[in-house]
């Protein structure tokens, strides 16, 4: 049975909550032994450059060690949020350790993850 964790994001998220939420995603990935995450950021806003750096340099390496292999991102409708998300996604993929897809459609993102 395929296990996928779905994380919904809405509005601007203060740094402490942003990081706490990603830590929760990591803990659930470890607990459920899932390698797949859907980040639904359709209603999300821009994340800070500090949080973007933290995702790239702290969270992602720990997630890869925990088995993180696939993720799908529903891009924010907000232009600045899209830019922020795309920057992180591009950098996350620099080592080709994680496969991903970006879309503006939750069902499409979920279908891609299920096919992996």
Question: How many domains does the structure of the chain reveal?
Answer: 1
* The model's pTM: 0.87
Question: In this predicted model, what pLDDT tens digit does every residue of 52-99 receive, in sequence order?
Answer: 999 999 999 999 999 999 999 999 998 888 888 888 888 887 777 889
CATH of residue 61's domain is 3.30.750.24
Domain of 25 in residue numbering reads as 4-115
pLDDT at 1 over 70: no
Mean pLDDT of the chain: 90
Residue 70: C-alpha distances to residues 2, 17, 50, 90, 115 (Å): 12, 23, 24, 14, 11
Question: What proportion of the chain, given as a percentage, has pLDDT over 70?
Answer: 98
Residue 101: predicted pLDDT: 92
């Amino acid at each position: 049975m395929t296990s996928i964790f779905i994380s919904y994001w809405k509005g601007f998220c203060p740094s402490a909550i942003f990081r706490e939420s990603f830590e929760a995603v990591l803990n659930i990935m470890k607990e459920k032994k899932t390698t797949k995450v859907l980040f639904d950021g359709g209603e999300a806003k821009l994340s800070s450059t500090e949080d973007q750096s933290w995702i790239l340099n702290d969270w992602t390496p720990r997630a890869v060690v925990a088995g993180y292999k696939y993720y799908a991102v529903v891009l924010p409708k907000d232009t600045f949020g899209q830019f922020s998300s795309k920057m992180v996604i591009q950098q996350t993929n620099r080592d080709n350790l994680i496969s991903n897809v970006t879309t503006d459609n939750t069902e499409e993102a979920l279908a891609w993850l299920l096919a992996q």
